[in-house]
Amino acid sequence: MQIATPYLMFLGDVPDRLAAKTAFGIADWRPEWCVGQLRLPGCAADLGIPDLTLEEAVAKGCKTMVIGVVNAGGVLPPHWVDEIVKALHAGLDVASGLHVRLGSVPAIAEAAQAGGRALHDVRLSAETFPTGKGTRRPGKRLLTVGTDCSVGKKYTVLALEKGMRARGLDADFRATGQTGVFISGRGVAIDAVVADFISGAVESISPAADPNHWDLIEGQGSLYHPSFAGVSLGLLHGAQADAFVVCHEPTRTTMRGVKHALPTIREVIDLNVQLGRLTNPDIRATGIAVNTQALDEPAARALLAELEAGYGLPATDPVRFGVEGLVDRLLAEFPETGTAA
């Protein structure tokens, strides 16, 4: 799948930043591709890049309009269809990370065909995968897991890839969600894989490697989330994680989209170790990544210090404070994979 850049980021009329996390992820990690944003009335998200009309976007060289939103069920709101059709008529390709296939909407399919434009459904792969086998394979793997969905699992592994490479380690980000695929240009949206093949898909995107190579696998959902635990478990088994980092958002009391209380970090560590031992008996927690965006700096640093003291693990906000401590811990636990530069 070759998606033409640069992008016009379509945010629709989403109610908050989290609902546009695909767009924010692309803008944060590939800002050079994001020329502008298109927002409908009532949109409460803002990437901090220019608001453009379709005509302005084309004039500035945009090639693809990316539907940069996520929602429960990955549905395409009917009132967005007209704007997508207009984008196709204006000469833009359209790429989506939603579950709904763009071409399944007659008006969109007709507009794309009439204008010779491409439709990219990033979440829906035509590739088939085997069932997972659980057989140990060479190479090291780190998986991010969460107390909830949308807590920073993708950002943590992307920050780790950057930080580990800077330290001379051999490390690659492995995308398992639509935003990660947009950012890396490869991977598979695991939540769109038929359940029987989830662990096999993860084995496929993180195959046997050099014994000292790190695959940094983007986690999804949470083992405690009633909506997404099945995806999280398939990821855990397919990853055969040697190490995992727990990701957490400290201001939440219930998990996103449901009324269930947030589990503790200790509960998440214990359950991931218990279930992860099926495919890797040596699985271990090596750090805690906290999204401290809602806290001022003194409060954030105090919380991180408290977590480090309570769990005996390095704790950081990977975006705000870096990943040095997380990398140090990996080198201490797995010294054979490299040395500090």
pLDDT of residue 307: 98
Average pLDDT, rounded, for the chain: 94
Whether the pLDDT of residue 114 is over 90: the answer is yes
Whether the pLDDT of residue 341 is over 60: the answer is no
Average pLDDT (139-160) is: 96
Condensed to tens digits (0 to 9), the pLDDT of residues 35-89 reads 999 999 999 999 999 999 999 999 999 999 999 998 777 789 999 999 999 999 9
Superfamily name with CATH number, domain 7-121: NAD(P)-binding Rossmann-like Domain (3.40.50.720)
Whether the pLDDT of residue 340 is over 60: the answer is no
Quick check: 136 and 240 in contact, CB under 8 A?
Answer: yes
Per-residue pLDDT band at 337 (split at 50, 70, 90): very high
180 or 71, which is more confident: 180
pLDDT of residue 1: 59
> pTM for this structure?
0.85
Query: 86: burial class by Cβ within 10 Å (0-12, 13-18, 19+)?
Result: middle
Whether the pLDDT of residue 112 is over 80: the answer is yes
Per-residue pLDDT band at 174 (split at 50, 70, 90): very high
21 or 61, which is more confident: 61
233 or 99, which is more confident: 233
List, as one string, the DSSP characters of 147-159: SSSSSSHHHHHHH
Percent of the chain with pLDDT over 70: 99
Whether the pLDDT of residue 339 is over 60: the answer is no
How many distinct helices (H) and strands (E) make up the chain? 11, 11
Q: In whole angstroms, how far apart are CA 103 and each of 13, 75, 81, 86, 117?
A: 22, 13, 11, 15, 11
Condensed to tens digits (0 to 9), the pLDDT of residues 296-324 reads 999 999 999 999 999 999 999 999 999 99
CA 84/CA 111 separation, integer angstroms: 9
Query: Phi/psi at 145 (nearest 5 deg)?
Result: -125, 170
Whether the pLDDT of residue 330 is over 60: the answer is yes
Per-residue pLDDT band at 102 (split at 50, 70, 90): very high
7-121 matches 140-337 in fold: yes
CA 36/CA 18 separation, integer angstroms: 19
Whether the pLDDT of residue 101 is over 60: the answer is yes
- Domain ranges across the chain: 7-121, 140-337
Average pLDDT (259-264) is: 96
Whether the pLDDT of residue 225 is over 80: the answer is yes
Average pLDDT (13-28) is: 92
CATH architecture assigned to 140-337: 3-Layer(aba) Sandwich (3.40)
Terminal-residue alpha carbon distance, the chain: 36
Closest CA to 79 of 43, 123, 29: 43
CA 89/CA 106 separation, integer angstroms: 14
Closest CA to 225 of 207, 247, 206: 247
